[in-house]
Amino acid sequence: MKAVIVGAGIGGLTCALALRQRGHDVTVLEQAPQLGEIGAGITITPNADRVFADLGLSDRMVAQSVIPERQLTQHWQSGDIIRDVERGAATAQHYGAGYYHIHRADLHSILVDALSAAAPDSLKLATPVQDARPDGTVLTEAGTAVKADIVIGADGVKSQVRSRLFATEEPKFTGQVAWRGLVPRCSVETDMQPHFPGVHIGPKKLFMRYPVRAETLVNYAAFVELYGWQEESWTIPSSRAELLEHFAVWAPEVTALIHATPDDQLFKWALFVRAPLDTWINGRVTLLGDAAHAMLPFMGQGAATAIEDAMVLARALDAYPLDEALERYDTARRPRTSAIQENARLLGLQFQGEDPNAFNSGGIKNEEQLGLFDYDAVHVDI
Ligand code: FAD
């Protein structure tokens, strides 16, 4: 089978690898001319780690990620601990799979290296896709037509494949603006360094941080309910002063991280989502990851669900005739991801509620309480 995947993000690359390992011919078309250091931290939860283990990537994942011991939820101003969850060995033992934080660029390069080893020349950079057709034809912006048995739109929240072939509305601004920063750990005074990964929560705002790159860097993401500015890009620079307008009176561990952020390591973006679709199938074309179910990041499941999609789709395509495979993929994945989209939105409201101390009695379950970590994309019935 010949598969064309549009987009070399986390989901597209994982799917390419899973298909390649099953002996299929894969081409990945990526608009970016080069794959670089864009992005910062990504959380890999046990449900995603099972996929990487099956793809033979565990050793590199462990080597390049940080496995947190605990994870805290704290009051925005006092820093008082509202929830404390054990991670590390306890999580690994409970789920038989890991929970870790990794720099997106590191994860990306692990996937690219593995794909290059398995299928040299399968990744085509600087190849933006303009259109796709239900018969399996993909048209690049340069005017080349590529024909495939299956086309997989893994082209992110602004997916061109989705816009062209599916009954969809445009991406919708969520009212959330995010900032992300990367801070050299050594530049933050020791007593101001948060000891464990965690999130400070307050009314209409939250500030989440965790270490990456052998704990040499602290990655943070700050979310503010804010209307007006609405640009969705990973490369828009911001400034400490702009971020401090929103967090100046937050706990000293929060402001210390903001003050220590290098000038070129602070970016902001507006968060967009798209409503669930009625189907992910149009002829020989389907979707995965953010293209199919972009979600708010409050459950840390954006990358994990793209990785799950990738494995389930590859298994279905390998095991069944095309039409049946797509039906089975759609049935297996759409209800789960639609539910996660909605739960991530609700959890965000609970995180950003008026009274942080009421967080534990808010009634909205987090990703672990919902049982999301139990999902095994490698073995689930499809
Ligand atoms: P994405 O990771 O968004 O990948 C989509 C890919 O498709 C991109 O490489 C894009 O360039 C490509 N593409 C889009 N349109 C076309 C087209 N027309 N033709 C060809 N290729 C196309 N999440 C975090 O939690 N933290 C981060 O720091 C972070 N940084 C990110 C940086 C970048 C540059 C990107 C693209 C995404 C980032 N994300 C980050 C989002 C996160 O990676 C995704 O939400 C998640 O991994 C789901 O992945 P995906 O493969 O579905 O989509």
Whether the pLDDT of residue 249 is over 80: the answer is yes
State which ligand 1 atom lies nearest to the alpha carbon of 7. 7
Residue to probe by mutation, ligand 1, list 15, 234, 274, most atoms within 8 Å of CB: 234
pLDDT, the chain, mean: 94
Query: Which residues, at least 6 apart from 209, have a Cβ–Cβ distance to it below 8 Å?
Result: 194, 197, 198, 199, 218, 219, 220, 221, 257
Pairing of strands 150-153, 285-287: parallel
The pLDDT score that the predictor gives to residue 230 is: 82
Residue 222: strand pairing partners: 179, 207
The pLDDT score that the predictor gives to residue 358 is: 87
- The two three-digit tokens of residue 244, written as one number: 């401090």
Distance 215 CA to ligand 1 centre (A): 24
pLDDT tens, residue by residue, 197-219? 899 999 999 999 998 888 888 99
Q: Where are the beta strands (DSSP E) in the chain?
A: 2-6, 25-29, 41-44, 70-75, 81-86, 100-103, 123-124, 129-132, 137-140, 145-147, 150-153, 172-184, 198-202, 205-212, 217-225, 266-273, 281-282, 285-287
pLDDT band at 359 (very low <50, low <70, confident <90, very high): confident
Q: Which of 315, 297, 324 is nearest to 381 (CA)?
A: 315
Cβ atoms of 163 and 230 closer than 8 Å: no
% of the chain with per-residue pLDDT over 90: 85
Instruction: Report whether residue 154 contacts ligand 1, using a CB cutoff of 6 Å.
Output: yes
Distance 9 CA to ligand 1 centre (A): 5
Instruction: Report whether residue 285 contacts ligand 1, using a CB cutoff of 6 Å.
Output: no
The pLDDT score that the predictor gives to residue 192 is: 76
Whether the pLDDT of residue 360 is over 90: the answer is no
% of the chain with per-residue pLDDT over 70: 99
Instruction: Report whether residue 38 contacts ligand 1, using a CB cutoff of 6 Å.
Output: yes
pLDDT tens, residue by residue, 28-54? 999 999 887 677 899 999 999 999 999
Q: Which of 245, 244, 208 is nearest to 223 (CA)?
A: 208
pLDDT band at 361 (very low <50, low <70, confident <90, very high): confident
Lowest mean pLDDT among 73-77, 118-122, 191-195, 208-212: 191-195
The pLDDT score that the predictor gives to residue 168 is: 85
The pLDDT score that the predictor gives to residue 35 is: 84
For helices 252-259 and 240-247, angle between their N-to-C axes, nearest 10 degrees = 170
pTM of the model: 0.95
Greater confidence, 11 or 359?
11
Averaged pLDDT for residues 232-236: 83
Whether the pLDDT of residue 190 is over 80: the answer is no
Cα–Cα dist 272/295, whole Å: 8
**Location of structure tokens 């948060």:** 194
The pLDDT score that the predictor gives to residue 208 is: 95
Q: Atom 29 of ligand 1 has which residue's CA nearest to it?
A: 39
What one-letter code names the amino acid at 233?
Answer: S
Lowest mean pLDDT among 21-25, 32-36, 98-102, 336-340: 32-36
Query: Which residues, at least 6 apart from 241, have a Cβ–Cβ distance to it below 8 Å?
Result: none
Residue 224: strand pairing partners: 177, 205
pLDDT tens, residue by residue, 77-92? 999 999 999 999 999 9
Averaged pLDDT for residues 183-208: 88
- The two three-digit tokens of residue 187, written as one number: 């530049």
- The two three-digit tokens of residue 258, written as one number: 């903001």
Averaged pLDDT for residues 70-77: 94
Whether the pLDDT of residue 269 is over 80: the answer is yes
- Among residues 95, 99, 100, 210, the one annotated as catalytic is 210
CB atoms within 10 A of CB 1: 15
**Location of structure tokens 């590859």:** 314
Q: Which of 209, 212, 175, 197 is nearest to 70 (CA)?
A: 197
Instruction: Report whether residue 308 contacts ligand 1, using a CB cutoff of 6 Å.
Output: no
- The two three-digit tokens of residue 56, written as one number: 């033979």
Instruction: Report whether residue 273 contacts ligand 1, using a CB cutoff of 6 Å.
Output: no
Residue to probe by mutation, ligand 1, list 290, 305, 337, 367, most atoms within 8 Å of CB: 290
Distance 12 CA to ligand 1 centre (A): 9
Under DSSP, the state recorded for 380 is S
Q: Which of 378, 382, 315, 306 is nearest to 340 (CA)?
A: 306
Cα–Cα dist 346/329, whole Å: 26
220 is catalytic: no
- The two three-digit tokens of residue 207, written as one number: 């500030």
Residue to probe by mutation, ligand 1, list 28, 30, 47, most atoms within 8 Å of CB: 30
Q: Which of 268, 332, 343, 340 is nearest to 304 (CA)?
A: 340
Cβ atoms of 180 and 265 closer than 8 Å: no
Cβ atoms of 238 and 262 closer than 8 Å: no
The pLDDT score that the predictor gives to residue 133 is: 97
The pLDDT score that the predictor gives to residue 362 is: 83
Distance 78 CA to ligand 1 centre (A): 35
